[in-house]
Amino acid sequence: IIETNGLLYMTLDSNPGGIRIAEKLGLHKHEELPRFFNKFVYSEALWSRLAYRMRDMTVDDIPRVLQIWAELELQEGSLSVKSFLSAKAGQYVVAVDNRTDQILGVCALTKVMENTYIIGLYGVDRRYQGLGIGSHIFSTIMTHIGPDDSAVLFSEHHLQDMYRERLGFSHDSGIQLIAYECRPVRTRNLQNLVDSIAGIRIKRIGDSLMDSVVEYDRKVHRQSRAQVLNRMFSDPECRALVAIDESGDQVAGYGVIHMCSDGNGRVGPLYADSESVAELLLRELIDNFPEMVVKGLIYEPLANNTGAMSIADKLGLKVEVKLPVLFTKQIDMDFQWDKVYCSHSPNFSII
């Protein structure tokens, strides 16, 4: 028996009377129920009463959320989660066991532009999968999408049909995120990246440069993300560098590296005016913060930037997965794509 805010009614297909009662109540078939019986009928702990509730995610929840993600062999860093959560950039929901207060699942909805929201950080503890918790979290998040809004997500290939046919993500942007990994980063490959550019100076992002970097980011995104970036740059976990064009003392790009839930260093965002500036920033990030790449490196460019993928090739990175961008409604993505060399995070941002 599962208690939720609604009603879950279980009957057998061999009992016509039970089915008629369900029809009189106007109940819909629960698509995951067969998996519940097949997978958990012999589990006494899960067959007992499981009552859970939905609530807003807090900063204190982040370690448990990242634990769930790591156990699902997914990657995200506390820096990204904290930055967007603290900036109140969207709706972030967790499913919590009423008895133990343990988090069972999570999902995030972040506003990326007017009338456009990205869904990410979606996952359920393996021990509680197949009980409808994931569907409940996802539907809770989707209630925040208005009739004129578009929802966006990065989909793994084996889930595309489900998102398109059952959940309404029927528009394919034609854009893919390419997730690269390298374990560990090979020093000899690092030598393939440029180590200097005449007239370009690399500096750490401090208070004196923060406003200039935020403005550069605004031009790339076509809207300000000041609250998110200010929280990110002021976080002690953040390792960030900016490229300054000395001819006009202007920002020519910036990059961030931080630790992921699986112990790998993750680059993102990495925005730059040119491939050579992006190379230099990436090399300096790895050289200046070697503790971030002891285990390995995660690098996630978009496939429409060939220069970004060229950098991955120079570093000898391996493609782990390709994630298409799906929408519920077609939108105009007026970003400065040519400056995007590594996504901020596919859980919270299109670029």
pLDDT computed for residue 43 by the predictor: 41
2 vs 147, more confident: 147
Q: How far is CA 187 from CA 26, 181, 191, 216, 314, in A?
A: 63, 15, 7, 31, 12
Residue 253 lies in a domain: yes
Task: Point out the least confidently predicted range of 126-130, 186-190, 233-237, 292-296.
Answer: 186-190
Q: Compute the average pLDDT of residues 107-112.
A: 94
- List Cβ neighbours of 141 (8 Å cut-off, separation of 6 or more): 91, 93, 107, 108, 109, 119
Residue pLDDT, tens place only, 157-206: 788 888 888 888 888 888 899 999 887 777 788 889 999 999 999 999 98
Residue 19 lies in a domain: no
Cα gap 4→167, rounded to integer Å? 21
| Percent of the chain whose pLDDT exceeds 90 | 60
Q: How far is CA 336 from CA 67, 80, 100, 218, in A?
A: 34, 21, 46, 10
Show the beta-strand stretches assigned E in 155-286: 171-182, 200-204, 239-245, 250-259, 265-272
Residue 328 lies in a domain: yes
Cα gap 128→150, rounded to integer Å? 30
Type of residue found at 88 = K
State the residue range of the domain holding 280: 177-342
Q: Compute the average pLDDT of residues 48-68.
A: 90
CATH at residue 235: 3.40.630.90
Residue 312 lies in a domain: yes
pLDDT computed for residue 31 by the predictor: 47
- Structural domain total, the chain: 1
pLDDT computed for residue 32 by the predictor: 44
Q: For residue 350, name the pLDDT band (cuts at 50, 70, 90).
A: very high
Residue 34 lies in a domain: no
Residue pLDDT, tens place only, 240-291: 999 999 998 899 999 999 998 888 899 999 999 999 999 999 999 999 998 8
Residue 172 lies in a domain: no
Residue 294 lies in a domain: yes
Residue pLDDT, tens place only, 78-107: 999 999 998 888 899 999 999 999 999 999
Q: Of 29-38, 41-50, 106-115, which has the strongest mean pLDDT?
A: 106-115
Task: Point out the least confidently predicted range of 7-16, 74-83, 228-237, 337-346.
Answer: 7-16
Residue 80 lies in a domain: no
pLDDT computed for residue 37 by the predictor: 36
